[in-house]
A and B are shown apart, each in its own frame.
Chain A
Amino acid sequence: MKRIIAFQFARVAGWLVLAMSVGLVLVATVIEAAPGPLPDQSVWPTPRLWGYFRTTIAMASTATVLALFIAIPFTAVMAGIRHGRHRRVLTALIIMPLVTMPSIHAYAWMLLATRKDGMAAAILGAIGWNAPGAQWMQAAVVLASWLWPIPALILSAAFRHMGRQGYQLARLDAACLSAFLRGALPLMRAPLIAAVAATFILAATDATIPPLMGATEIWSVEMLAVAAAASSHTRPIGYVFWQAWPMLALIITLALAAIPGIRKIASWGDELEAADTGTLTAAPGRAWYSACVLAGVIAFFPLCVFLTEFGSAREETGRALMTAMTTYRTHGLATLLVAALTGVLALAASLGVIADSDDRPWTRAFGKLAFAAVLITAILPPEIIGTALAATLTRICDPRSWNIYDCTPWAWMSALLSRFGVICLVVARLTNRRVPVSLLNHAQLEGATVPARIALVRLPFIWRPIAMAALLTACLAMSEIGASVLTQPVRFFGGCLAVQVDMQMHYGRQSETTVLAAIMFTPAVVAALVGAAWPRPRTQA
């Protein structure tokens, strides 16, 4: 009985969390955007903004192509791996760049390219890396080095469910990569489109990498400035929304194009992966070792650059470490606390969307609605999420007294949940489908109620993947900047460390910034460990 009460408590808490974070963002956005543009606001962007839009499209497209270019060989290698443990090791290495704070990738490249001596800088200089006007290309390369895990992971999962047969047929008379491209990839078109859409959306909405690489006229950077100035308008969210609509329209179009792929991915929860049992013991080949080395190089590239910086100035690094620990201690603690709580709240929210087929209609409907809402906020630009929360809570909170906006990190956590809560919810829904029907029927015959069936039968099968997803959410939350910069509380005991690190990359002392960047690499390592230990949901009693 205690378990059932605890589950019901967690479920209601999950609903409340979703309503107060994701729900607040969506309702505020709809209410303020629905009346249309503000009286003094032109719907049609200025030629300057169109220029920004074009540059951003070019940059995001290039980044997406490059990300695919990197991801496909890895997917082909993953296709050939038969041992579950080997696959998890490679997955762990692949996932690391994605969870690494994006600015860290950019900062590492920036350090490398601006070193006064050194072979790397000379090579980069020789290939025209620092050429005037090439900054958006640099940003595209760095974006690709951050985002390539998305297509790699989606395509490798798609291969296991959709492309394996085509690959095996093509493999009869073709080499590994060729068989993958000609045999498997055409069968995986829908997930491929979803991967392309996700990569493009993240590349186009990132506002941290382009400025560090010196790229100007970038849409997302301009939108951050628009969001910062939005509070002077009567409808701040409406103002940002109607400034950002061309990018939003593009994002929605891409999201719609990705729906068939998302449906395919969602349906994978209904079936078991035939060859992913983790029990086959084929020895890893040279391709696996090569892929691991290459993925490791990409994953640890920023850390290696930072370590070489440390190596050249050990004494300075020691001082910088002490200063960074002194200066950013409270920010670090606050960020750690907020990230951990965001993970926990995401876990609670995921319990809110786990449904049983015999659940009350309104419960199932609420679960679906919440899931759809989280999917929508996940693709919203962070500026809109941040503005929605900041503007709404600013209105209702009196700055002269204790209030939830200035003194607590609720807005900050809500923004993080709106951006990354989707991971937990997707994992929860996918794994929920894998619970053996026979067990559920058995419980029903024994007279178990719906909450009892979820708490006693479903949760034991699915809690581990959800907990892992919550940990991943917490890792991503630690590195988020776009929405955090708009929602971090002024009177909380500390602010967002990622925002501070990003700011120091522009204004700060190099040795301290490098130390901080190295510290901010920790979530990626944790995420890699999660990836390596990722549990498969139990599929039999």
Chain B
Amino acid sequence: MGEMNYSLFFIDTFLLERTLVYIVIMQFFRRGSLQVEIIKDITMIEGIFVEGLIYGIMVLGVFITFRILDFPDLTVDGSFPLGAAIMATMIISGYNVFFALAAAFMGGIAAGVVTAVIHNRLKVPNLLAGILTMTMLWSVNIRIMGNRANLPLLKNETILTDIVSWTEGIIPSDYTILIFFFFVAMAIKFSLDLFFRTDMGLTLGALGNNEQMVISQGVNINVMKAIGVGLSNGLVAVSGAFAAQYQGFADVGLGTGIVVTGLASVMIGEFIFTSNKIVVLTFRVIIGSIIYKAIMYLGRYYGYHIGLTPNDLKLLAGLLIIACLMIAQGKKRNYFRRWKNDQA
């Protein structure tokens, strides 16, 4: 029962707030500047949740390809900045913000469909198909942003500035953004839950598990893969579009390592609880994303005690995945042993 020990470790990180309060008190004794530290930590917790929710939309996309479709899709590294680029360019050109968001979503879908078609038509392994699209998207993204690698959005009206101006004087702006992203992430999560209960959604679920079974039902699996990978990248692009608005710029390098972020978040989520209910699966994806962001924030703010710099965060992300894989493998081995005992 290795499961228990490991989940205890993650419950610890789950009780993040308590840890933070402890750290704050420790620093108060050390430096005597309680007020500054508390303000810093509250904005930090708010930042963790907002970023966790924004990136959670992307992680839902990664979850669809990696876990449901069993189609390791690296297009994500390109479709995330694609969403950001489309959003930023259209905002600056004066389009309606919601129209721009829809366009980002469609752009992401198109990128995913390109990957699926390369994979289906040319019989290229899915990893390679994703890398091809991702590489091409680098140039496409720079084109979209008008041959620039970076587009600042600081003086433009975005969805976020709109929302904040609507609730001005009622709720502090930081909380408005937090509440807004909570509802956006939940709306997307529940639409996905609904989608995966439809006949098409169920078939997508079976596709990652047993292609032969889906073929036997008279379903064209190439079309199904295009739908699944398209939907996934659409979500990733929406996530990128929100990330650009939250950070105040779109950058062509925004997507580097997004797959790793997504995968690590999915894996962290899987340690929280096991279930076969899609409602629970999508929920733990978002929780996983928030925990991942928390770990990264901890690494960024408190890592200097052990000599970590922000440049080490990618290494941290990779090590996190390796740790998750090792734990998961240990679990599987235990499970297999139990299964064998049952047979005997």
A and B from one assembly?
A: no
Task: Please report B residues at the A interface, Cβ cutoff 8 Å.
Answer: none
